[in-house]
Structure 1
Amino acid sequence: MHTDNDIYKEIRPYNDDEVSGAIQRLVNDKEFTTAILNYRFPQFSGVLGWLLIPLIKRFLINKWSNVKTVEDVQRQVSKYMHATINQSCDGVTCTGLDKLDPNKAYLFVSNHRDIAMDPAMVNWCMFQKKFSTVRIAIGDNLLKKPCATELMRLNKSFIVKRSAKAPREVLKSLGLLSSYISNSLETGNPVWIAQKEGRAKDGNDKTDPTILKMFFMEGRKRKQSFTEFMPSLNIVPIAISYENDPCDVAKANELYQKQTSGSYEKGELEDIDSIIQGIVGQKRRIHVSFGDVIKDPIETPEELAVEIDRQITANYRLFPANYIAAGIEHDSVTPEEKAKFDEKLSPLPLGVATILKDMYAYPARKQLES
């Protein structure tokens, strides 16, 4: 049916006519229904769990019976987001969208602090302001379970194949990805991608030029120069700031282990735990700052990375914790805020506490220096 899209079939989000099938597969996915059972009814998840599975299936079928299109899925997600925001943070603010045109498709290159919440927050702001929501780049390392893949592709996510190892395979998948991003923008679909692979666990938001080289693969294929092709992508840097990062202690622990023993072994379900913690954990205030479209011709991926970093650093919204950690005097720093921050650090081993403090201090120091 979608012949034009079929070269992207392996990586693209689902189209309207694929939504019902994906929902059907989710409802019949034992791991998925069991996960919902454990989450919603932990007291029954043991011996009697199997009795509830048919009920959960029926509940899902009823709940999702009206979800037939990608737009329907987005509406459902926005309801979940509304509840999540109410329960896990003290409000979301957003700046810079008024400078953008709702009828244009942008390539949003964003700092990366939280696996699921970063693109969700961007979409939340866009949804509120009547912009179309973004297609989300997601690494296949997060899609180890079939139900995760179904959920993500239902929610406008496309797949970045990080697991490819052979050089030819890597080049092929990067070329397809580059082509898909250009195709999305040219068909009016905005795209969100993180500025580097993996979250900035140390608080230092830095763009990896490799990602920008990947964007350009399609330009090279079209025999265009970097300066010619890149402005056509309408790149807009985004800075997302969380007053409190629910995964901060886990990130600091990981970095401390790497520092002290040289390596860190990820647990099998660690990514999933990070996603859940990021969604349900307390974040206090969240700010999403949309930067300016990069229209000036820039010669190299490295120079483009510098410009994206400059905007993200300048637009990052600093909160009291950032000033306190960096030891910077500021009007927003009250004795209550200081006590709150000390309370966060006090139970932690010194090495971990130092890393955590640096994580919050980094954006403030960086803004001062720039």
Structure 2
Amino acid sequence: MSKFDEIRSFDDREVNEAVQSVVRHPMMKALMNFTFPDVDDEIWSDQLKDTFSIYDFQKNFISHTIRKILETSSQGLTTSGFENLDKNASYLFVSNHRDIVLDTSLLNLVLLEKDFVMTSSAIGDNLVQQNFLHILAKLNRNFLVQRGLSLREQLKSSQLMSEYIFQLLKSENRSVWIAQREGRTKDGNDATQQGVLKMLAMASNHTSIPDFFKNLKIVPLSISYEYDPTDVLKMPQLLAKQKDEVYVKAKDEDFTTMMSGVLGQKKRIHLHSGNVLHQELDDISANFDNKNKQLQAIAQIIDESIIQNYHLWPTNYIAYDLLNQTNQFSKNYTEKEKQLFERRLEMRINVDDEILKNGFLSMYANPVVNKMKLVSQSF
């Protein structure tokens, strides 16, 4: 028994039994038939039964699934910045969050193909309520973020997760992916929640916050999709927020969103690995002695890296120009690209609803706005 049993992923010694328990599940069959459409069920089934480690499961099966997703629903994945990382080191990737499944899956595919240490990744336990999804998540080295807890339970859970992440990074040399905020960004404004950093810092004991974070080797990760396959699904929650209403999710909404993210059209995708936070943390240590101000400064550095390295697509520039009724960025897209985006807009929402239309356009335009703000602040 381990104190982390409630949240941890599988150990390798548990993998084969877990695989055997789901190999005949209809969802596993659907997943494998999608991944290997020309392979007899008996072949992939036998190979699954001979799987005894998470690495083998990810390498021999899930990596092929992600490649198939890219092949069928995107125009390719590009990367930058990973050449600056040490292949044998573990890192804490603090990432903007756009898609439930793909953000971390794409990162792990990149790490696998570049021969880096793959990540353990945080996932909300609300997303894996079905037993099959829970097992699949643990087979992909996901650990659970417990949701819907009382304040006291939340504090205890955060302490546990902080210690688990620290153990993964420092004792197991295992990289970790965590979103910069709770839940996906719905409006295109990527901002680090201080609460995430406070949770991470709970394992610091008597070490100063900047020194502790330096030890974690934080890497800000920027993920950008040319088309957000779940853009229209984010609208109801955005509208509720604008109206200051409590948003209540529909039954199976999370599962629908996951499937839409996986199968929906994304066009081009780019992942940029920022530089490891190091000197910046020394500067924070020298300039701030208040813990909250230190956390605020660290969040700002992560935000600046993610925004600066976020790859802007034609869709972002088109949305900005449409929203502001300008041609300011017309050199960054073609007329055909603009027509295609406008067609997507018309097909996905009621364009006569100004609030809905502006919300949809803002989702794509805000990364441009935020990068412009960042540039203006640097002068």
Are residue 225 (structure 1) and residue 208 (structure 2) matched?
A: yes
1:109-120 matches, within 5 Å, as: 109-120=94-105
In structure 2, the CA distance between the partners of 1:271 and 1:225, relative to structure 1 (3 Å rule), is: same
Q: Provide the C-alpha distance between the structure 2 equivalents of 1:98 and 1:34, rounded to a whole number of angstroms.
A: 37
Q: Does 1:33 align with 2:16?
A: no
Residue type of the alignment partner of 1:13: S
Deviating more after overlay: 119-128 vs 94-103:
119-128
Report the equivalent of 1:157. Answer: 142
What displacement does 1:346 show? 2.2
Residue 206 of structure 1 is matched in structure 2 by 191
Structure-2 residue corresponding to 1:8: 4
Distance 1:87 1:62, change over 3 A: same
Aligned to 2:52: 68
Q: Distance in 2 between matches of 1:185 and 1:35?
A: 31
Measured against aligned partners, the alpha-carbon deviations of 1:273-310 in whole angstroms (never above 9, x if no partner) come to 11111011110000001001111333411110000000
Q: Are positions 1:365 and 2:369 aligned together?
A: yes
2:162 counterpart residue number: 178
Counterparts of residues 249-328 of structure 1 (less than 5 Å): 249-260=232-243, 262-295=245-278, 296-297=281-282, 298=284, 299=288, 300-327=294-321, 328=328
Q: Distance in 2 between matches of 1:330 and 1:130?
A: 40
Q: Are the equivalent residues in 1 in contact too, given 2:16–2:50 (CA < 8 A)? A: no
Give 2:150's aligned amino acid: K
Q: TM-score, normalised by structure 2?
A: 0.86
Identity between Structure 1 and Structure 2 (%): 36
CA distance in 2, matches of 1:23, 1:302: 43
Taking the aligned partners of 2:241 and 2:8, their CA distance within structure 1 comes to: 35
* Shift of residue 34, structure 1, vs aligned partner: 6.2
Distance 1:334 1:274 in 2: 30
Gaps of 5+ in 1: 42-54
**CA contact 1:140–1:163 (8 Å) conserved in 2:** no
Does structure 2 conserve the Cα–Cα contact (< 8 Å) formed by 1:12 and 1:158? Answer: yes
Q: Once the 2 structures are TM-superposed, how far is the Cα of residue 259 of structure 1 from its aligned partner?
A: 3.1
Could you tell me how far apart the structure 1 residues matched to 2:277 and 2:298 are? Answer: 9
What corresponds to 2:377 in structure 1? none
CA positional deviation for 1:253: 3.3
Mean Cα deviation higher: 151-160 or 137-146: 137-146
How many residues matched? 346
Higher deviation after alignment, 345-354 or 84-93? 345-354
Q: TM-score, normalised by structure 1?
A: 0.88
What is the alpha-carbon distance in structure 2 between the residues aligned to residue 38 and residue 217 of structure 1?
38
**Displacement of 1:255 after TM fit?**
1.5
Match of 2:126 in 1: 141
Distance 1:109 1:246 in 2: 22
- Partner Cα separation in structure 1 for residue 27 and residue 162 of structure 2: 37
Give secondary structure in 1 for the equivalent of 2:268: strand
Residue type at the aligned position of 1:367? K
After alignment, is 237-246 or 264-273 more displaced?
A: 264-273
Letter in 2 for 1:95: S
Q: 1:51: which partner in 2?
A: none
Cross-structure match for 2:174: 189
- Choose from 85, 103, 120 the match for 1:100: 85
| Pairwise CA RMSD | 2.1
Deviation at 1:18, TM superposition (A): 0.2
Structure 2: tracts of 5 or more residues without a match? 35-39, 289-293, 322-327, 375-379
Q: How many Å separate the matches in 2 of 1:110 and 1:244?
A: 18
Q: Distance in 2 between matches of 1:154 and 1:282?
A: 26
